């Protein structure tokens, strides 16, 4: 017997306990990636974060992942994207703002070899920096 469906109630499987279920979509169109690339960006040791406020009134979060051929062969590019997707699942669901687009861009050698805990810290710092008001400076 299959369990009954919960039509949007409770927590989704991808959101951690304590956080409301957030609508998360993956960016598919090139134009969305280009808009994110021309907005705010924050470089870290492990990757580059690009973010923009869509200002379209839609509450969902949209996420994109990029790994160019500079990363290496297909195996390394896929590994880098897998690690970035896992980061997004763990960190972005709690810290991302509704109505924003985020693109995580892999860096050659580092995204694949950097310890995962360091990548998590990088993403948390990058999100804090991107969401800080433009005139604010860290203490």
pLDDT digits (tens, 9 = 90+) for 95-106: 889 999 999 999
Asked if residue 108 belongs to a domain, the reply is yes
Asked if residue 95 belongs to a domain, the reply is yes
Asked if residue 1 belongs to a domain, the reply is no
Asked if residue 121 belongs to a domain, the reply is yes
Asked if residue 15 belongs to a domain, the reply is no
Q: What is the CATH number of the domain that holds 71?
A: 3.30.230.10
The angle subtended at Cα 24 by Cα 84 and Cα 12, nearest 5°, is: 105
pLDDT digits (tens, 9 = 90+) for 39-80: 999 999 999 999 999 888 888 899 999 999 999 999 999 999
pTM of the model: 0.78
Number of structural domains found in the chain: 1
Asked if residue 88 belongs to a domain, the reply is yes
* Whole-angstrom distance, CA of residue 84 vs CA of residue 78: 10
Among the listed residues 91, 39, 40, 102, the one whose alpha carbon sits nearest the alpha carbon of residue 66? 102
- The domain in which residue 109 lies consists of 26-125
Asked if residue 13 belongs to a domain, the reply is no
Asked if residue 79 belongs to a domain, the reply is yes
62 token code pair: 């949209």
Mean pLDDT of all residues in 19-38: 83
pLDDT of residue 23: 80
């Amino acid at each position: 017997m299959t369990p009954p469906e919960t039509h949007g109630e409770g927590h989704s499987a991808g959101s951690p306990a304590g956080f409301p279920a957030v609508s998360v979509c993956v960016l598919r169109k090139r134009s969305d990636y280009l808009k994110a690339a021309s907005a705010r960006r924050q470089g870290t040791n492990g990757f580059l974060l690009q973010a923009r406020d869509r200002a379209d009134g839609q509450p969902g979060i949209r996420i994109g992942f990029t790994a160019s051929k500079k990363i290496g062969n297909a195996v390394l590019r896929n590994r880098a994207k897998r690690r970035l997707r896992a980061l997004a699942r763990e960190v972005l669901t709690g810290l991302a703002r509704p109505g924003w687009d985020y693109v995580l861009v892999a860096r050659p050698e580092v995204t694949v070899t950097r310890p995962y805990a360091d990548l998590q810290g990088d993403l948390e710092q990058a999100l804090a920096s991107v969401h800080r008001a433009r005139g604010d400076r860290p203490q």
